[in-house]
A = this chain, B = another copy of it.
Amino acid sequence: MYIVPERAIADLMTRAAAFEAVEKVFAAMAAGDAYNFPVVREALGHESALYGFKGGFDRAGLTLGLKAGGYWPNNLEKRGLINHQSTVFLFDPDTGKARAMVGGNLLTALRTAAASSVSIKHLAREDAKVIGMIGAGHQAKFQLRAALEQRSFDKVIGWNLHPEMLPNLAEVAAEFDLPFEAVGLDGLREADVIISITSSFDAILKADQVSPGTHLACMGTDTKGKQEVDPELLTRATVFTDEVAQSVTIGEAQHAVAQGMIAEGDIHQLGAVINGAHPGRTSADQITLFDGTGVGLQDLAVAASVVELAVQQGIAIEVDF
């Protein structure tokens, strides 16, 4: 049994490896080779923590297991620990024996970034030049870094509820030698690709603040009640997601579906585009929208990838379990 501790992940895992793992598992999901188990999510009534399990099985990649963990809102203030804490456990699908235990904190950030990045590869216009960010927190930096590798962008623009956080985006833009510009929401009309990564419970972006031809990746909505964009936008866009069942219940599409503006059948799996079963973008002025809800299989895929790297590089701790 292998252990890859949290502290080892940063040096091991690359954005490219995360991208490849997530792209492959999205494709396996759409092909019916991989599926997610029901999510367990519990408010513990202790330290105000949310805790749960996201599991799944990828028959193609032979990846089985779960991510366990959650959100401890007092960690940082009380103990100097990050508030999101998770661990991934992998099992041998042939025997049921534990195969690996992997720190899940950085992996979660990387797999979430990889998801919007995969959507950009497969859905954004090839000639996309301006990327717009809604949200400028810790996770926004991961999303932006991964996105910038997918097209020849020449400018980053961004909006955040708290403008004092915008330097986070400017910092990443500078890493890629790109200019950054803070904009109002109307300014996002200039963007060819927009990523929203907030914890908003109200629509931030209005439908008419999005230009024809734009690809949007809505990455913040992962719970009932959360919302980042005007549901009207989903009627104008071709809508894709990681998992339709989550999209209509806890994802960005929950609102448009609940209001009868779109139906579940209007939402397509991104994996189907990867597999070639869905054409994806078919015109330059089409709006595409990826509703990234986050599934357990993404966590398992990046964890399996990092275990492989750790074993190759002799960094995995081997335990006779």
* Chain B hits for A87, CB < 8 A: 89, 91, 97-98, 321
Check: A179 CB closer than 8 A to any chain B CB: no
Residue in contact with A38 in the complex, picked from B6, B38, B89, CB distance below 8 Å: B38
Which one of A16-24, A61-69, A154-162, A301-309 contacts B? A61-69
CA distance A69 to B96 in the complex (A): 6
CA distance A55 to B39 in the complex (A): 12
Specify how many copies of this chain sit in the oligomer.
2
* Chain B hits for A103, CB < 8 A: 321
Q: How far is the CB of A203 from chain B (nearest CB, A)?
A: 31
CA distance A87 to B101 in the complex (A): 11
Check: A276 CB closer than 8 A to any chain B CB: no
Check: A317 CB closer than 8 A to any chain B CB: yes
Is the Cβ of B37 less than 8 Å from the Cβ of A38?
A: no
Q: How far is the CB of A122 from chain B (nearest CB, A)?
A: 28
CA distance A139 to B89 in the complex (A): 28
Q: Which of A36-94 contact B (CB under 8 A)?
A: 37-38, 40, 42, 44-47, 49, 51-53, 55, 57, 59, 64-66, 68-72, 75, 79, 81, 85-87, 89, 91, 93-94
Is the Cβ of B57 less than 8 Å from the Cβ of A44?
A: yes
Is the Cβ of A89 less than 8 Å from the Cβ of B89?
A: yes
Check: A175 CB closer than 8 A to any chain B CB: no
Check: A3 CB closer than 8 A to any chain B CB: yes
Is the Cβ of B93 less than 8 Å from the Cβ of A3?
A: no
What 1/0 flags go to A95-111 for Cβ under 8 Å of B?
11110010100000000
Residue in contact with A51 in the complex, picked from B6, B46, B57, B321, CB distance below 8 Å: B57
Check: A5 CB closer than 8 A to any chain B CB: yes
Chain A residues with CB under 8 Å of chain B are 3, 5-7, 37-38, 40, 42, 44-47, 49, 51-53, 55, 57, 59, 64-66, 68-72, 75, 79, 81, 85-87, 89, 91, 93-98, 101, 103, 317, 319-321
Is the Cβ of A57 less than 8 Å from the Cβ of B42?
A: yes
With A3-B319, A42-B37 already in contact, the answer to whether A49 and B81 are too (CB < 8 A) is no
Is the Cβ of A97 less than 8 Å from the Cβ of B68?
A: no
* Chain B hits for A5, CB < 8 A: 319-321
Residue in contact with A47 in the complex, picked from B52, B94, B319, CB distance below 8 Å: B94
* Chain B hits for A96, CB < 8 A: 49, 51, 69-72, 75, 85-86
* Chain B hits for A91, CB < 8 A: 51, 68-69, 87
Query: Quick one: closest B residue to A70, CB to CB?
Result: B96
Beyond A51-B57, A319-B319, 17 extra complex contacts between A and B, CB < 8 Å? A3-B319, A37-B42, A38-B40, A40-B55, A42-B55, A44-B59, A49-B96, A51-B96, A53-B55, A68-B91, A72-B95, A81-B95, A86-B96, A87-B89, A89-B89, A98-B101, A101-B321
